Amino acid sequence: MAQHYRHSWPARIAIAALFLGLGIASVKLWRQMQTSEQEHIREVVRYEATNLASQLEHGLHDQSQGLLRVANLWNQLGRLPEQQWRLDNQFSLDNFQGYQAIQWLGPDLHMRWILPLAGNEAAINFVLTPDHPNYPLAMLAKSTGKARFSNSFALVQGGRGFVLYTPLQIMDEQQKPVFDGFLQAVFRVENLMDNLLKNIDKNKFSVYLEEFDKPIYSREQGITVASLQQKIPLHLINNQNYSLRLRPSAQWVATLSSNLPTFVLVAGLTISTLFTAALSLALSNRRRARELKAGNKRLNAEVTRREQVEQVLRSSSERLQLVLDLTGSSKDGLFIIDPQNRDILYMNPATYSALGYSEQGFIKLFKDKPEQVIRDYAQWIANVRKAQTSEHSSIFQQYMRRFDGSFQAAEISAQLVNVSGHEYLIGVSRDNSERLKLEQQLQTLSQLDGLTGLFNRRYFDNQLGGEWRRLRREHLPLTLMMIDIDYFKAYNDQLGHLAGDDALRRIAELLKGCLQREGDTACRYGGEEFAIILPNTPAEGGRHLAERIHDKLAELQLEHPGSPLERLTVSIGIACVQANETELPDDLIARSDKALYQAKHQGRNQTCVWRQP
């Protein structure tokens, strides 16, 4: 018995050592799982912080695009009327509450227009002087022609804020661009950040906006975990002096933690205890003890491995499903393609359903004939690559063919990315047909006279200047007709202004009906005076047209009690010139006016042609 007892000591020592080893292994496994969980939490926090910084950057960038469109209209069409300027910018104010004001700073750097005025009265007489902290940045924007986003500074309205300076240009008389001030968006720091962060869960982070590593804005939670804080550099348009520091709340971090490490520790220690107890009771059968030990080890390892795999798969699946749900509900098309072989790696339903295609039909058509989906596909891809390597905009105006063969205007934001040596294109498309249609309507309305439907004086000046330059290059004649209604003041006095307006409309219809060439243009010059531009036409051609106008007007027999002929008549002055370098369009207008004056002086209801004295 004693001998058996002595022989059992090595086994007991081995069992004790095994129990100790299993306990240590369980503790190490527990610590390893805790470390992995902490690293996972850190990765989640880093992802959320990076995503939030990206949302802030894109949110501010999206707002700047609206101002850029207004600036482009200004640069292309000339200085906008104040009412149109206010209408275009009111849309930006209504859709984003982060603005303090949208302003026009004139070319003399004096404040001209402010929207809204309420709350910004202190800026009415503002002048951007060289001692202002933003003066060098504004001059940089002026010299480069590109918008610049300022550092924070003290606003004249009170508090601190930012300014986005967008330079404006107009064409001078020589059609050269000249500086016309700034379209500037003013943001108050607190309002801008509150609006950019309004859709962010407040319980997740304490948020700090820093400028040169000094906080200028904060939104804090109660208890936070300082060891997990993240600092992300921000690129606010083209200003890289800002950073976003986020400190996760203890409450949110707690939701990311699990009891799995503790469970594994308890389970490991329990299994170790039971296992060694079983070995103590089975000293007589060491073979079975060894098998039981090996089986328990394998089971323990498999449980741990499966739980880890399931946790990773569950987390990845939830994130992937969230992304798919969000992109699937978007009205904008989102797609990822391989530009080399035209394979579509991903697209949301809006990409193909808005064009009338089925998913498989769209994929096959794009693979076989991409030009049938995106007009000039190869050139577009080349333009995307060019924009990627330069400072050109990555937003393109394209036309996509619908299933019925018609085309849909689309604004596509595209970016090429390289992953593991392979190139992919990520694009977002948006139907902007209505906006293009509205812009065309506004363009047309700005060129027409509201009463007669003829082109207005502004269009006349632009058209005459354009034809003058064209015909000067081609050495061809240009004829201008100035037409004035005879005794029109007496007509208004005796028949009333409504009758006068009707007479102006009748004359306008008559002039349009007498024009027989596509390039000829009839305009309302002002009041009862009209003008007709006849490119590549000698004076004799103008005289023939004048005779036709007199004849057609006589056929109408419009009653005029104040005229000696008792009907409405017109006087016409004609001037013709060979466009050259020494004369200007104003010289042609002056000569036509002289011929018109001569026609009126000689008794009206006639045509006179200007002759060189």
Active-site positions read: 528
CB 217 within 8 A of CB 189: yes
- What number of other Cβ atoms are within 10 A of residue 364's Cβ? 13
For residue 545, which of 524, 526, 572 has the smallest C-alpha distance? 572
Query: Rounded to 5, what percent of the chain is helix, strand, coil?
Result: 50, 25, 25
Q: Are 155 and 61 in contact, with CB atoms under 8 Å apart?
A: no
As a whole number of angstroms, the distance between CA 240 and CA 236 comes to: 7
CB 21 within 8 A of CB 268: no
Identify the DSSP state of 205: E
CA atoms within 13 A on the CB side of 282: 15
| Count of all residues that appear for the chain in the document | 613
Report the alpha-carbon distance of residue 36 to residue 2 in Å, rounded: 50
3-state secondary structure of 245: strand
* Beta-carbon-side half-sphere exposure of residue 40 (alpha carbons within 13 Å): 16
Cα 523 to Cα 482: distance, rounded to the nearest angstrom: 10
CB atoms within 10 A of CB 570: 25
Half-sphere exposure of 107 (CA within 13 A, CB side): 8
Residues 409 and 431 sit within 8 Å (Cβ to Cβ): yes
**375 CB neighbour count, 10 Å cutoff:** 15
The torsion defined by the Cα of 596, 597, 599 and 603, in degrees rounded to 10, comes to 150
Pairing of strands 477-485, 521-526: unpaired
411 to 35, 68, 400: CA distances (angstroms): 47, 15, 10
What string of H, E and C letters represents the secondary structure of 461-529?
Answer: HHHHHHHHHHHHHHCCEEEEEEEEECCHHHHHHHHCHHHHHHHHHHHHHHHHHHCCCCCCEEEEEECCE
Q: Give the count of alpha carbons within 13 A of 227, CB side only.
A: 6
The amino acid at residue 198 is K
Q: Which of 246, 261, 315 is nearest to 37 (CA)?
A: 261
Q: Are 597 and 573 in contact (CB under 8 A)?
A: yes
What DSSP letter does each residue of 409-457 carry, written as one string? Answer: EEEEEEEEEEETTEEEEEEEEEE-HHHHHHHHHHHHHTTB-TTT-SB-H
Q: How far is CA 240 from the centre of its chain?
A: 20
Q: Is the peptide bond before 130 cis (omega within 30 degrees of 0)?
A: no
